[in-house]
Structure 1
Amino acid sequence: MNKYELLIFDWDGTLVDSIGHIVESILFAAADCELPALDEASIKGIIGLGLPEAIAALYPEVSDERTVEAFRRAYADHYLSLEAEPSVLYPGVAEALRAFRGHGYFLAVATGKGRRGLDRVLAGHGWGDFFDVTRCADETLSKPNPQMIHEILAHCGVGPERALMIGDSVFDLEMARRAGVDSVAVTYGAQPLEVLQACMPCLAIKHISELGDWLCSTDSLAEVVAHVG
């Protein structure tokens, strides 16, 4: 018997190498709105949030709705131009996801992207109906609020103790903690290991293949415990 039934993945920085495009688009939107340019580390620190929450975190002094909307449009237009050809998957991701599917896991995405953006990139990768369920920041509450995970669990009929969240930001891992779900930290994405470790993930990985190896070991342990029991 498997310890986990449901694997929930963040998108940007976890499955797809799109961090550079996000940083560039934030910088473009800031310049377009005549806001101060921020350093790359600060911008990477908000990746995972919904765009309105990200703008508020980066520029708390900006409260004018027209400026926020102008920033959002500039960001979206520039990001779409960069993503005319969708960002590539990280090495091994496609193979790992197919293997997880073959082993019977439910697969889900919980992302700070908007629904239109996620559907576009899923279609671009030929994954329009690959995942069992996806949730986006503009159709529920933004990370780290656990609502995305609650909705995914309900859709799949899986309890929190049987689900695993995989992500590259503290927002992913904190969302999992609030939902009572175990987490895995991805260290090749937006945020460094020392930041992610503060959230006490079950595992930190440098390559997606390490997740498969670890799941096999936890599944083997679950089999032994069930047999002994």
Structure 2
Amino acid sequence: MPELKTLIFDWDGTLCDSISRIVEAMTNAAQRTGLAVPSDQAVRDIIGLGLPEAIATLFPGMDEPWLAEKLRQEYSDYYVALEQQPASLFPGVMEALENFRAAGFKLAVATGKSRRGLDRVLASHDLTGFFDMTRCADETLSKPHPRMLEEILNRLETPASCALMLGDSEFDIRMAHSARVRAVAASYGAQSRAHLLQSRPEHCIDAFTEFQGWILPASQAAQQRIDNVTG
């Protein structure tokens, strides 16, 4: 197996414990717009998509552009208000990211958030400029289309076979498969382990702290194999 060089992370539900806020914001937006309130699970199931795609999935048949725009604005305003107290990163995230960088990995984020939203949350966690590349849904095509990953790989000059995507939704896994990138699922975020496994990830973790313990030993073993061959 080729040496792993680049780790790509989803944001909401993978690095950041923000799923409950997304559900709350969408519930509030539907109520204020006079729409039927979707179930919590229905909202969780669209997390990872860009906001226009998420709205179209949750509220099919909405023909009035002004209503979709009102819903989008209500959601955004409520979510920004919640983020006055930034959602926490999952335990172990910062330590692991720093260890990955020290080990020589390039790090990237591929998210359904908007550029404004991601920049805001990165700044709140003092992570502005930390990642080698970030890509947001309003800059490219929404997940599960592979373009987001393809743009990251191109910018970081990384072959698809040398990259891995960690995400908590089927959209992350499907996107990775389409881009021929290795995929690991995170069952502690938006979607359950059983649901994620239907998309056939290479591996599934139940807590972020498991990821470092899985990646670093595997990477070290692969490098040792390469050294044995070339030494």
Q: Distance in 1 between matches of 2:208 and 2:158?
A: 23
1:62-77 matches, cutoff 5 A: 62-77=62-77
Q: Deviation per CA, 1:89-138: give whole Å up to 9, x if none.
A: 00111111111111110000000000001000000000000000100000
Kept in 1, the 8 Å contact 2:2–2:161? The answer is: no
Residue matched to 1:52: 52
Q: Distance in 2 between matches of 1:115 and 1:32?
A: 25
Q: Deviation per CA, 1:26-78: give whole Å up to 9, x if none.
A: 01111111110111111100000000000000001212100010000000000
Q: Distance in 1 between matches of 2:223 and 2:14?
A: 29
Post-superposition offset of 1:215: 1.5
Kept in 2, the 8 Å contact 1:3–1:218? The answer is: no
Post-superposition offset of 1:3: 2.2
Q: Distance in 1 between matches of 2:123 and 2:224?
A: 40
Post-superposition offset of 1:2: 7.5
Runs of 4+ deviating beyond 3 Å: none
The answer as to 2:26 corresponding to 1:26 is: yes
Which structure 1 residue ranges, 5 or more long, are not aligned?
Answer: none
TM-score, normalization by structure 1: 0.97
Which structure 2 residue ranges, 5 or more long, are not aligned?
Answer: none
Alignment-mate amino acid for residue 140 of structure 1: T
Alignment-mate amino acid for residue 41 of structure 1: Q
Alignment-mate amino acid for residue 46 of structure 1: I
SS in 2 for 1:199: coil
Post-superposition offset of 1:206: 1.6
Residue matched to 1:107: 107
Q: Distance in 2 between matches of 1:209 and 1:82?
A: 26
Alignment-mate amino acid for residue 55 of structure 1: I
Residue matched to 2:147: 147
Residue matched to 2:172: 172
Kept in 1, the 8 Å contact 2:91–2:209? The answer is: no
Q: Distance in 2 between matches of 1:168 and 1:223?
A: 28
Instruction: Pick which of 168-177 and 201-210 moved more.
Output: 201-210
Q: Distance in 1 between matches of 2:58 and 2:214?
A: 36
Kept in 1, the 8 Å contact 2:182–2:202? The answer is: yes
Q: Distance in 2 between matches of 1:70 and 1:201?
A: 36
Post-superposition offset of 1:86: 1.0
TM-score, normalization by structure 2: 0.96
Residue matched to 2:135: 135
Alignment-mate amino acid for residue 109 of structure 1: V
Alignment-mate amino acid for residue 16 of structure 1: C
Q: Distance in 2 between matches of 1:223 and 1:96?
A: 19
Post-superposition offset of 1:153: 0.2
**RMSD, aligned CA:** 1.4
The answer as to 2:89 corresponding to 1:92 is: no
Post-superposition offset of 1:20: 0.6
Report how many aligned residue pairs link the two structures: 229
Residue matched to 1:5: 5
Post-superposition offset of 1:24: 0.5
Q: Distance in 1 between matches of 2:206 and 2:92?
A: 11
The answer as to 2:163 corresponding to 1:163 is: yes
